[in-house]
Structure 1
Amino acid sequence: MTEEPRLPAQDMIERLAPALSLTTRIRAVTALLAGMAGTVFVSALWWSEPGPLPGRTHLAFAMLTVFCLTWAGYGGWLLTRRVPLFATDQVIAAWIGLAASLATTAVVTVVAVGRGSGAGPALAVGGLFVAVALVLAVRAHARRAALLRRMHELTGREEGGTRSP
């Protein structure tokens, strides 16, 4: 009786589960489509505005366009992955959300102060969004770390990439 060749644990893990689950694919398509639709919508608004716009308005439109393009890029990147991500996608999405929250809070606060309405409400609402985004980023990093620890346990690899005895 011949013994079948043994697969390394990493190969077994990759063969057992598809690289992207249905939920991840749906999230990726949603991010891609929402980012593209947002880019088209914001750009159309920006180009169709009559007369010269103030600099801060151009900044706001540019920032929103960049955020939409970033989400579209994230969705496209996620759809092209053919390897297990170990929650890397969640970490990237959390950082995009945190950056968008911080930048939006800063711009809205500057506009509110420029209009004389005070920074309090803008900072309160923006601070809430930043806090939620920060919690999601910390949670995503913790989940990724736990998945990588589990992978190292299953494959017998230590952090340096060597096999333990």
Structure 2
Amino acid sequence: MKKFKFRLESVLQLKVRFEELCLQKLGAAEQLREKAQNELAVCRGRIAETLRFYREQLQNRFDPRISESYYSYLNWLNLEREKAVLLLAQREAEVAEARQRLLEASRERRVVEKLKEKAYRDYRAEELRDEINFLDELGTGRFVRTVGFNQMQEVRE
């Protein structure tokens, strides 16, 4: 019998490649999100360090010029932190979108794989029917030969 060939094999391969691409994009988006998280942590660390250092400076003596410089620097750090928070939110949305695309690609691939499995089951059932028919024909031929031979012997006797 002929070998099993799935008509939509090229479509299945395309779905698999697309799913792999979506997985790579998800990985890249997660790396960008992690980088944004690290940047936010660095900003928070700088703010905490600056506040600690400022408190130490205030304990020794108060200088308005130094105080103004620290205040300006803290404002700038807070703006940087807000930018980092916004960037992190954007990266989180990108990860969610990439994950959704991956789920859709996986679903589409599984649909085509189910079709392939069904086609293979149908192929195996057809192959089994053909084998049974062949064996029936073989058995019928043997029976006819045996019965025919016995009948010919009965006629001769």
More helix by share: 2
* Higher relative contact order, structure no. (Cα contacts within 8 Å, ≥ 6 residues apart): 2
TM range (shorter): 0.3 to 0.5
Q: Which has the greater radius of gyration?
A: 2
| TM-score, scaled relative to structure 1 | 0.44
| TM-score, scaled relative to structure 2 | 0.46
